[in-house]
Amino acid sequence: MRIKVHPGLCNGWGECHRWGREVFPLDEEGFCEMRLLQVPPEMEEQARLGANACPEQAITVIEEGPVPVPAYRIVPGEAQVVVRLAGSAAG
């Protein structure tokens, strides 16, 4: 999988970094430093969570094979929570 960050859309909320620290580094002002990245398989879940958490939808996930069924979904609100989806095999 690859991810692409659209810098013109990023407003520095830092939610991508919150859910995917190792995938989405931030600069001194809180904006995502990364623009395009090949994500190693062991970090794909972090990348998806970080991309889904972006309130500006400034991150595109580019899947290179079959798209996996997500095990979790981020529920927006005052306190964001991660919810395990029914039927998920993730542990």
What is the strand order of the sheet 36-38 is part of? 36-38, 2-5, 59-62
Alpha-carbon distance of 87 to 30, in angstroms, equals 36
Q: Give the model's pLDDT for residue 76.
A: 61
Pair 51, 59: CB distance under 8 Å: yes
How many Cβ atoms are within 10 Å of 57's Cβ, its own excluded? 10
Pair 85, 77: CB distance under 8 Å: no
Q: Give the model's pLDDT for residue 55.
A: 93
Domain ranges across the chain: 2-84
Domain 2-84 CATH assignment equals 3.30.70.20: yes
Q: Give the model's pLDDT for residue 91.
A: 47
Q: Give the model's pLDDT for residue 48.
A: 92
**Mean pLDDT in consecutive groups of 10 residues from the start of the chain, 91 residues:** 91 93 91 85 92 93 74 60 56 47
